[in-house]
Chain A
C-alpha cells in the first residue's frame, strides 16, 4: 500500500474563462475578425484557495450549494482539469463516477466499454479480461452485456458504471451524485463494496447534495462555499451546520430530480 497521503492539495485555485457569445464556428470567428467585434471575456474563480489531504482509507465528503466548486474540485483531483494555481499531488489510479457512467461510449456494448474504460485507466487487455466476469456479475447485466450502452435502462447504465469503477482497482474513487439511481438492493451492494474498498486502503471522495448519503459514507466532510472552504471536520458536525444554514425549514431537502 502507498505510504503517505493519496491526495495532497495545497492552496488550489481554479479560474475559468467564460467567453460570452464565443464563436462556435470558424465562419463566425472570421466574420468577427473582419467586423472587429470582440468576444466578451469574463473570468471567474471557481476555487479560491482550497487545501485538502486524503489518506489511504479516508472517506471525504464535499458538500456545498450549486456553484460552490465541488465538481471543479473533483475534476482537478481526477486530473481532468488543470489547476490554475496551487499544488495538487494525486498518487495512484483514479476512478471517476459522475452522474451517469464513468465515461462510456454510447455506441459500444457493455463489454466493449469495460475494455475501453480499463484501457483508459492504463490496464492491459489481459488485466481487464480477468475482471470482465466479475464486473458483469456485479452490475447484474443479465444478457445485456452485448447491447450498446445507449440502449440500456438508466438503472443498468449506472450499475455498470459503478461496477467498472470499483473493479478496475483504483486507489482513489471519486463519486459525484451517482447513488441516486438504482434500486435499494443495488444501493446496499454499492455500500458494501465502498466499505470494502476503504478497508483495503482505497480513498473515496464523495460529492453530494444528499446529506443522509454523506453522513452514512463519509468520516470527514468539506463544506465549500463560493470556492472557499467554509468548514471542515467530522461529518455529523459539518452536515448539521450546513443543514441549519441552507435548508433550515425544508423537510424534504434531500429529495430532488435524479440527473438526466
Chain B
C-alpha cells in the first residue's frame, strides 16, 4: 500500500488517516443526523429508502451495515429481516456506534447487534451475510480495495453489496451550484450547528476525492463481484452501487 493517502485535499501518512477520520466523527457524532437533514434538505432519507428497497432483503436474512453510524439503515433492515434474521450495525467509531445505539432504543428497535470494526479487516467468517451495506462510509476508508475484498469475502454466494455514496454529477449547472454549496455553505452550517467548520470542510473535500461512478464500479468488479451496476440519485450527487457475489 502507498505510504501516503488523501484526507480531504491534504496528503497524509496512510497510517494517520484512520485517526484523522476518527477525529472528524468523534466531533460530529452527536449532531450527525441533524446535520444530514439540514445539509441534504432531508434527501438523505430518500436515498436511504431507495437503498433499502434495492436490497431485496427478506425475512430471515443476515445483514451487516458497515459504517452504520446512527443506525438509519439498520432500523429498516431490522424490520425486513424480522425475528428470524440478523442485523449487525457496525462502525469503526465508538462515538457513532453509541449514537446508533441511542437512536435504535429511541425508535423502539431491539435485536440489532453492535460491532465496532474496521472495514478493512471484518471479523466475520466467509459467506456469512445475505447483504452488506455501507452508506456514506466508503470514502473515509483508507484502503477501499481491501475493504471491498473483505465485503465480498463475508457475503454468501448470491449476496448483495450496497454502496451508497456521494459521487459525480454530469450536469454542469448542478455541479456549479453543488461546488458553491459544498465549499461555501456546508462548512459554515457545520460551524453554526455542530460548532465544527473544519469537519464539514473535510466532508466537501473527501467527496471530491472519492472515485466516480465508473471507477467505483470497476473496483467492485475487481473485488470479485460478478455483477455491479449503479443508479445515480439527485443527478449523480449520490450514487447507489449494487454488487452481486456470484
A and B bound? no
